[in-house]
C-alpha cells in the first residue's frame, strides 16, 4: 500500500535524533521458513544501542511474554501455506496480535480466512524451539472491516478504506493453557504519555525469523505531523532504523519503558504492529488502543468466544463516503 505524506522530512529528522542508531546487517541462518507467509506488512530490525542490549533473549522481560503465531492457510497451489505473525500474552490465557493475521482484509476482503483453531502460539520461540499452545478460538476487533463496495472503489478510495480499518487492527486469541512466564502489562488511552517505544517481533527476513527482534524509535500520531493527506486520528506511527520490508512481526508489541527488569510502569504494551509506510522506510503504523474497543473484545474472547460478540464501538470516520468522490481533507493516496 502506498501512502502520501507531508512534512515527512521534519518527521524523519526528529525520529533520527530520537533513535539515531546503526542498522545491523545479518545474514540468514538455519533452514528456510515457508516462503509463502504472505503478511508482508511490517518490519523489525535489531537495536544495537547499549540501553537495549538484550536482543533476542526470550528468557527476559518483556520478550518472555512474546511468541510466534503460526496458522495453517493451505491453498490449491500451496498446501503448506502458513500465516506467521507475532503475539504476546496479555492475560494468562489470552494472546494479543493483529487482526489482519486472522483476516487479511487488504488482500482477501471476503474470505475464506484461515481456521485459527488450527493455529499454534509458540511462546518464547527461538531457533525452532518454544512452548507450544493450541489456539482455542480467536476474534478480531469488530471495526476491522472494509466497506461492502470495496472492490468497486477507486485505488485512492481503497487506500483510504484500508487506513480506516488499520485504526482498528488488533485481535485476541484464547489459548489452551496458561502462560508460564506471566503476562505483558498494557496501557490503553495513553495519548500524550509516551514518545518512544520499542517494537518487537519475529522478522522472517532477519535470521529467518528464528529469534525475536526489537527496534526502538520515536512514537507519534499520524495526524501530529500530519503524516497522511487525510485525517486518521487513531493511527500511531513509530519511526525507527530499518533494513528491508519483512514479514512475521505483525502483531508484535510496541513497548513503552522497555526494561529487562520488571516493575511498575515498565514494559507497557501500547500498540501492536499493523502496517508499513512503503514510501517512507522506517515508518510503521498501528491502531491506537482504547478501552472502548479493547475491553469488550477481551471479555468476549476470555469467555470462550461464545457470548454475543461485542458490537462496534464507533462508526468509521464520518467524512468518508467511499465511491462518491468525497475528499474534504485534501489529496488521496495511491
Instruction: Please state, for a pLDDT cut of 70, what percent of the chain lies above it.
Output: 73
Indicate the Cα dihedral angle 9, 15, 19, 21, nearest 10°: -10
Select the more confidently predicted residue: 332 or 251: 251
Q: List the CATH code of the domain at 11-302.
A: 2.40.10.120
Q: What's residue 30's pLDDT?
A: 32
Instruction: Please state, for a pLDDT cut of 90, what percent of the chain lies above it.
Output: 59
Reported as half-sphere exposure (CB side, CA atoms, 13 A), residue 119 has a value of 32
Select the more confidently predicted residue: 12 or 141: 141
Residue 162, all three cell numbers? 484500508
Q: What's residue 307's pLDDT?
A: 75
Q: What is the mean pLDDT of residues 216-236?
A: 90
Taking the chain, what is the end-to-end CA distance rounded to the nearest angstrom? 7
**CA–CA gap between residue 328 and residue 67 (Å, rounded):** 42
Residue 83, all three cell numbers? 500465516
What pTM did the predictor assign? 0.80
Condensed to tens digits (0 to 9), the pLDDT of residues 274-315 reads 998 877 777 899 999 999 999 999 999 999 998 776 776 555
The DSSP code sequence of 2-58 is: ----SSHHHHHHHHHHHT--PPP-----SSPPPTT-----B------SGGG--TT-T
308 burial (CB, 10 Å; 0-12 / 13-18 / 19+) is exposed
Condensed to tens digits (0 to 9), the pLDDT of residues 27-37 reads 223 333 333 22
Q: What's residue 312's pLDDT?
A: 66
User: Over the chain, what is the mean pLDDT?
Assistant: 78
Select the more confidently predicted residue: 45 or 104: 104
Q: What's residue 51's pLDDT?
A: 37
Condensed to tens digits (0 to 9), the pLDDT of residues 244-281 reads 435 789 999 999 999 999 999 999 999 999 998 877 77
Q: Which residues lie closer than 8 Å to 79 by C-beta, 6 or more apart? A: none
The answer on pLDDT for 156 being more than 50 is yes
Select the more confidently predicted residue: 127 or 11: 127
Q: What is the mean pLDDT of residues 124-129?
A: 92
Q: What's residue 165's pLDDT?
A: 97
Condensed to tens digits (0 to 9), the pLDDT of residues 174-185 reads 999 999 999 999
- Provide the strand spans (E) within the chain: 66-72, 82-91, 94-97, 120-126, 129-140, 171-175, 196-201, 213-221, 235-239, 253-256, 268-276, 283-287
Q: What's residue 322's pLDDT?
A: 46
The answer on pLDDT for 10 being more than 60 is no
Q: Which of 309, 257, 295 is nearest to 90 (CA)?
A: 295
Amino acid at each position: 500500500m502506498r501512502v502520501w505524506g507531508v512534512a515527512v522530512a521534519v518527521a524523519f529528522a526528529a525520529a533520527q535524533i530520537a533513535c539515531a542508531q546503526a542498522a545491523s546487517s545479518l545474514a540468514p541462518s538455519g533452514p528456510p521458513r515457508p516462503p509463502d507467509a504472505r503478511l508482508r506488512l511490517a518490519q523489525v530490525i535489531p537495536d544495537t544501542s547499549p540501553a537495549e542490549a538484550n536482543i533476542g533473549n526470550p528468557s527476559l522481560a518483556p520478550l518472555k511474554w512474546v511468541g510466534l503465531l503460526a496458522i495453517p492457510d493451505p491453498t490449491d497451489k500451496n498446501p503448506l501455506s502458513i500465516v506467521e505473525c507475532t503475539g504476546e500474552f496479555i492475560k494468562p490465557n489470552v494472546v494479543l496480535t493483529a487482526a489482519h493475521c486472522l483476516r487479511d482484509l487488504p488482500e482477501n476482503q471476503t474470505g475464506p480466512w484461515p481456521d485459527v483453531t488450527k493455529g499454534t502460539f509458540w511462546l518464547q520461540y527461538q531457533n525452532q524451539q518454544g512452548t507450544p499452545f493450541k489456539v482455542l478460538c480467536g476474534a478480531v476487533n469488530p471495526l476491522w472491516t472494509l466497506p461492502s463496495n470495496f472492490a468497486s472503489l477507486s485505488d485512492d478510495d481503497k487506500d483510504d478504506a484500508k487506513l480506516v480499518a488499520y485504526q482498528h487492527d488488533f485481535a485476541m486469541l484464547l489459548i489452551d493453557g496458561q502462560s508460564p512466564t506471566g503476562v505483558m502489562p498494557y496501557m490503553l488511552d495513553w495519548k500524550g504519555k509516551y514518545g518512544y517505544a520499542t517494537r518487537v517481533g519475529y522478522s522472517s527476513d532477519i535470521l529467518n525469523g528464528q529469534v525475536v527482534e526489537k527496534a526502538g524509535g520515536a512514537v507519534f500520531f499520524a495526524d501530529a505531523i500530519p503524516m497522511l493527506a487525510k485525517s486518521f486520528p487513531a493511527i500511531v506511527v513509530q519511526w525507527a532504523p530499518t533494513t528491508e520490508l519483512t514479514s512475521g512481526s505483525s502483531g508484535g508489541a510496541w513497548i513503552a519503558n522497555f526494561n529487562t527488569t520488571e516493575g511498575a510502569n515498565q514494559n507497557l504494551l501500547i500498540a501492536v504492529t499493523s502496517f508499513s509506510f512503503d514510501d517512507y522506510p522506517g515508518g510503521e503504523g498501528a491502531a491506537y488502543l482504547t478501552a472502548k474497543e479493547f475491553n469488550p473484545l477481551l471479555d468476549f474472547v476470555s469467555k470462550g468466544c461464545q457470548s454475543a460478540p461485542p458490537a462496534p464501538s464507533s462508526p468509521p470516520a464520518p467524512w468518508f463516503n467511499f465511491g462518491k468522490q468525497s475528499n474534504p481533507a485534501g489529496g488521496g493516496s495511491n
